[in-house]
Amino acid sequence: MGFRLEGIFPAALLPLLLTMILFLGPLMQLSMDCPCDLADGLKVVLAPRSWARCLTDMRWLRNQVIAPLTEELVFRACMLPMLAPCTGLGPAVFTCPLFFGVAHFHHIFEQLRFRQSSVGSIILSAAFQFSYTAVFGAYTAFLFIRTGHLIGPVLCHSFCNYMGFPAVCAALEHPQRRPLLAGYALGVGLFLLLLKPLTDPKLYGSLPLCVLLERAGDSEVPLCS
């Protein structure tokens, strides 16, 4: 589920655009701290040599391709359609990300094995990571349900893996913190304003998961309209 051609172009572009709007502040911060200008940056991004280097980097492939694709396939395309008929769509959206968050607990064992920090710090870090990965999982579940496509969640997942968690503390101490914090606030505000319009199911054609729930007898599915 989630693999179809109908509405695939808006499903690839609009959720990614929405996520980039949310990251307006971090993107401004990245631009301010980057030593090269926009033209040089675009040359690097579009250069075939840069992409060839990325495609031979196992860590890049894991973070930007393999992890987003496999995790969204398992936790969104496979798990959500199984949970939704049993629990209802709303509970499934918030239950499924809990499994997604727990799946990242393996980092605890890596850190404990290599003694990278104290046990308390490692557990606190794991709890924080669980929290934001669960929230992100709920967001991509929302995207999957509203668009009926897997490509949007996969691209958003890859983008967020690249950006990392927003460096809010660094923004507070930045020399240009006022415009930067304004960018953070504007990004969040625009994201909340555009969340439903840019994920309107009418933009993406028929929604397989919603059709499945209707056949199961659930005629009132708010997220599908």
Closest CA to 210 of 85, 42, 60, 39: 85
115 vs 128: CA distance, rounded Å: 19
Average pLDDT, the chain: 85
Look up residue 58 and give its DSSP letter: H
Tokens read off for 37: 């200008």
The percent of residues above 70 in pLDDT, for the chain, comes to 82
> What pTM value is reported for the model?
0.87
Residue 136 contacts residue 72 (beta carbons within 8 Å):
no
97 pLDDT band, cuts 50/70/90, is confident
For the stretch 201-210, pLDDT in tens is 889 886 766 7
The percent of residues above 90 in pLDDT, for the chain, comes to 45
Give the residue numbers marked as catalytic.
Answer: 71, 104
82 vs 201: CA distance, rounded Å: 21
**Cα atoms in the Cβ-side hemisphere of radius 13 Å centred on 14:** 23
> 147 or 213: which carries more pLDDT confidence?
147
* Torsion angle (degrees, nearest 10) of CA 57, 140, 159, 115: -60
Tokens read off for 201: 């199911």
> 115 or 49: which carries more pLDDT confidence?
49
**pLDDT for 72:** 94
**pLDDT for 28:** 92
Q: Which amino acid is at 162?
A: Y
Tokens read off for 141: 């579940």
Widest CA span of the chain, in angstroms? 57
Look up residue 36 and give its DSSP letter: S
**Cα atoms in the Cβ-side hemisphere of radius 13 Å centred on 218:** 17
